[in-house]
Amino acid sequence: MGRLFVNTEVEINAPPSKVREILLDFKTYNDWNTLIRDPKIEKSSSNSQDPFKLIKGDVLKFFFIPLNGTGYPVVETNTEQEFSWLGVGGHRLIFSGLHFFKFKSIDDGKKTILVHGEDFTGLLVGPFKWFKGGEKEVEKGYTQLSNVIKQRAETSNL
C-alpha cells in the first residue's frame, strides 16, 4: 500500500484562536479559499451548523476545486490545536487522505505556526504522485492556501 505525506508550515502574526476562527468560518470560504468551495455540515451529531461544534464522525460536504468534484470528508479532530478530516476515494484501501491544520502557539500566544498537510494512503497513492504533478502540486496548493489564511489573519479585524 502506498503512502504520501505532505506537510507545510507558515508563521502567522496572529494568535492561534484567530487563525482557527478564519479556517472555521465556512460562510466566507467562497471569498478566499483556493481549494474548497461551498462547505457545508452535511451531518452533525449535535444537529448544529456551527463548525466550532463539529466532533469526530461529523460529515462535511465540500466542492474540491483541484478535483472538480464534491467530497464528503469525515471530521477527525476539532480542537483549539487542530482541525482535521478524513477524505476517502471509494474505499480506504484504495485512496484516503487525513487532511490537517495544526495551530501551534508561539511568542507567548501572539503568533501561530500553521501546519497544513495531508497523510495520503492507499493503493492509488503511487499513481497519484505522478498524476498532474501529484506531490509537488499538492504541496504548492497547500502552501498557497496557508498563505491566504496568513494574509487574512494578519489583516482582518475578526
Structural domains counted in the chain: 1
Distance CA 100, CA 142 (A): 10
Q: At what angle do helices 16-23 and 134-155 cross, to 10 degrees?
A: 120
Q: What is the average pLDDT score of the chain?
A: 92
Residues 6+ apart with CB under 8 A from 6: 117, 118, 120, 135, 138, 139, 142
Task: Using the predicted structure, report yes or no on whether residue 105 has a pLDDT greater than 70.
Answer: yes
Query: Domain containing 12 — which CATH number?
Result: 3.30.530.20
Residues of the domain holding 57: 2-155
What mean pLDDT comes out for the span 126-149?
85
Distance CA 63, CA 124 (A): 21
pTM for the full model?
0.92
Q: Which residue has the cell 483549539?
A: 80
Tell me the per-residue pLDDT of 44-100, one tens digit each, with 9 for 90 and over. 998 899 999 999 999 999 999 988 899 999 999 999 999 999 998 877 788 899 999
